[in-house]
Amino acid sequence: MNKPTLYTCLSPSLLHLYDVRECVVVVIDVLRATSTIATALFNGAKSIIPVDTVEKCIKLGKDMECITAGERDGKVAEGLQYGNSSFEYPRSFIEGKILILTTTNGTKLLHMALNKGATEIITGSFLNQSAVSDHLLQTKRNVILACAGWKDKVNMEDTLFAGAVISKIKNHFTVNCDASQIAGCLYDNAKGNLYEFLKVNDASHYHRLINFGLEQDIRHCLTEDLANVLPYYVDERLVI
């Protein structure tokens, strides 16, 4: 039997090169949208509604009387209540609630994939790495690892997470994709100490968040399987 295919899309600006319709699309925004999504759902959030603009987030929050959250350029967006840090969503706060979320890169990419006809979208981060990898191994569908990057530029942490997944599952897929090979190679260099790797290699988002005093956020988002759930998109929301 032919193995399913695996591709890595390193930037939303490259998504048009891939046919997302017959694949599982893994949306990856390690710092920090998909880490926050995993955490909030792990901690009992009822669902997360990703929206692509701050305006939609505010309006939907009013209409549904739900928590609104999101950031632009790494900071809480004006008009929203909460930010994009896992630490804002402990079980004591988020359990049973619906969160409406918009972010600079991750939620935008999710909507791009939807608009291109994606039928199965899940979200991935180091926090739920095993859940994602296990699902991809079990489902045996073609896979696109879609990195959110930063404003369409390729970034290191999303590429590293793609590499982590590839490293775990590649033998079960046909990987005719240089971007995947590059990501896998990068991860092989970084594994064991992802934080130091980002620091030593001057990852741009590392510096951006450090400048906001968010070292603990970065460390949290690089920890494997702390919130090991499988968020999937259905009926306009992410659930587990």
Q: Which chain residues interact with a copy of itself by CB under 8 A?
A: 10-11, 13-14, 16-17, 150-156, 159, 175-179, 181-182, 184-186, 189, 201-205, 207
- Decide whether 13 or 119 has the Cβ nearer to a copy of itself: 13
- Decide whether 161 or 233 has the Cβ nearer to a copy of itself: 161
Tell the smallest beta-carbon distance from residue 163 to a copy of itself (Å).
10
At position 70, the amino acid (one-letter code) is G
Tell the smallest beta-carbon distance from residue 144 to a copy of itself (Å).
12
Cα–Cα distance, 161 to 82 (Å, whole number): 25
Q: Are 169 and 133 in contact (CB under 8 A)?
A: yes
The tokens describing 141, both together, are 């569908």
Distances (CA, A) of 95 to 5, 9, 40: 37, 33, 8
Tell the smallest beta-carbon distance from residue 57 to a copy of itself (Å).
25
**How many other C-beta atoms are found inside a 10 Å radius of the C-beta of residue 197?**
20
Cα–Cα distance, 139 to 24 (Å, whole number): 9
Please state whether the peptide bond connecting residue 32 to the residue before it is cis, i.e. omega within 30 degrees of 0: yes
Tell the smallest beta-carbon distance from residue 143 to a copy of itself (Å).
16
- Decide whether 131 or 145 has the Cβ nearer to a copy of itself: 145
- Decide whether 94 or 183 has the Cβ nearer to a copy of itself: 183
